[in-house]
């Protein structure tokens, strides 16, 4: 069974990035669900560590880094594919990615955000059998903030409910890091920077 290393929200934590590099050698695919830097700063230094990963890797931008800057930072990372409103098959596994903060965050100009309607358009081509990599979690699922608020995306939720997805990997809401819930038979995992090894044939992963 294929094994994935799932992570998100490294936020320039270089120690966490180095630890993920070590864990990546033991899995089939690495999945990074966004926010590699902090408020738009420190992206290159973090990716410089992660790009030593040789395992095939799928990443999406978070709200801390826009798509074009992530693509530029990953240009010298041969193993990585950057997805946003797009898909790719990696090691025989179909993936579809969407980045950014959904819905629009209150953080201001530095945050790369989308409305729910924009997200619905970006998600419309997601295949029914794909692993969905979304920086933002679905509304009501692994989306509880440290203040107890549900901050997930309705568009992401609708996509999961409409399709028979094997897994949704997300991040963004730090208060739900490491948590897994099931929505319409699809396990949804808010990964966090520590990383989780996930066997695709199961409904729960193993925190590392």
pLDDT at 208: 46
pLDDT at 70: 98
Which of 2.60.120.380, 3.40.228.10, 3.60.21.10, 2.60.40.3080 is the CATH number of 3-207?
A: 3.60.21.10
Assigned token pair, 25: 């050698």
pLDDT at 53: 98
Percentages helix, strand, coil for the chain (3-state, rounded to 5) are 20, 25, 50
Distance between CA atoms of residues 114 and 31, nearest Å? 21
Mean pLDDT of the chain: 95
pLDDT per residue as tens digits for the range 55-86: 999 999 999 999 999 999 999 999 999 999 99
Which residues are registered as beta bridge partners of 190? 170
Helix, strand or coil, per DSSP, at residue 29: strand
205 pLDDT higher than 80: no
The pTM score is: 0.96
Q: CB-based contacts of 182: which residues, under 8 Å, 6+ apart? A: 188, 203
């Amino acid at each position: 069974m294929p094994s994935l290393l799932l992570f998100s929200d490294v936020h320039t934590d270089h120690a966490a990035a180095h630890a993920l590099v070590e864990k990546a050698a033991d899995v089939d695919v690495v999945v990074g669900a966004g926010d590699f830097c902090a408020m738009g700063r420190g992206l290159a230094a973090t990716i410089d560590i992660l790009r030593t990963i040789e395992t095939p890797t799928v990443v999406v931008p978070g709200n801390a880094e826009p798509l074009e800057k992530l693509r530029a930072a990953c240009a010298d990372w041969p193993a990585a594919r950057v997805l946003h409103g797009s898909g790719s098959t990696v090691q025989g596994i179909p993936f579809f990615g969407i980045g950014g903060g959904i819905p629009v965050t209150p953080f201001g100009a530095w945050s790369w955000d989308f409305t729910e309607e924009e997200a619905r358009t970006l998600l419309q081509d997601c295949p029914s059998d794909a692993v969905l990599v979304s920086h933002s979690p679905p509304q009501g699922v692994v989306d509880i903030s440290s203040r107890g608020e549900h901050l997930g995306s309705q568009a992401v939720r609708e996509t999961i409910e409409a399709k028979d997805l094997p897994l949704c990997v997300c991040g963004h809401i730090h208060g739900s890091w490491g948590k897994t819930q099931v929505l319409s038979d699809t396990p949804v995992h808010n990964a966090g920077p520590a990383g989780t090894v996930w066997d695709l044939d199961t409904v729960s992963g193993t925190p590392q």
